[in-house]
Amino acid sequence: MLLTRLMEEARRRGHRQVVLAAQLHAQAFYAVHGFVAEGPVFLDAGIDHINMRCILAA
């Protein structure tokens, strides 16, 4: 619910997309919410991450 609410707030503020760095084990969770992986896997704090983007509907 928190992610959905944050995306609604981004939409309300006029943002057209949301970008985040997801830990690899959470990639499927974000994909269910419309996020698409972009670019290579990278380390952050010793944990594999991937950038993900979600285009917000108008």
What's the CA gap between 22 and 38, in Å, rounded? 11
- Residue 30 pLDDT exceeds 80: yes
Query: Band of the pLDDT at 13, cuts 50, 70, 90?
Result: very high
% pLDDT > 70, the chain: 98
Considering the chain, what is the average pLDDT of its residues?
96
What is the average per-residue pLDDT within 11-22? 96
Domains of the chain: 2-55 (3.40.630.30)
What's the CA gap between 33 and 20, in Å, rounded? 12
Query: Band of the pLDDT at 2, cuts 50, 70, 90?
Result: very high
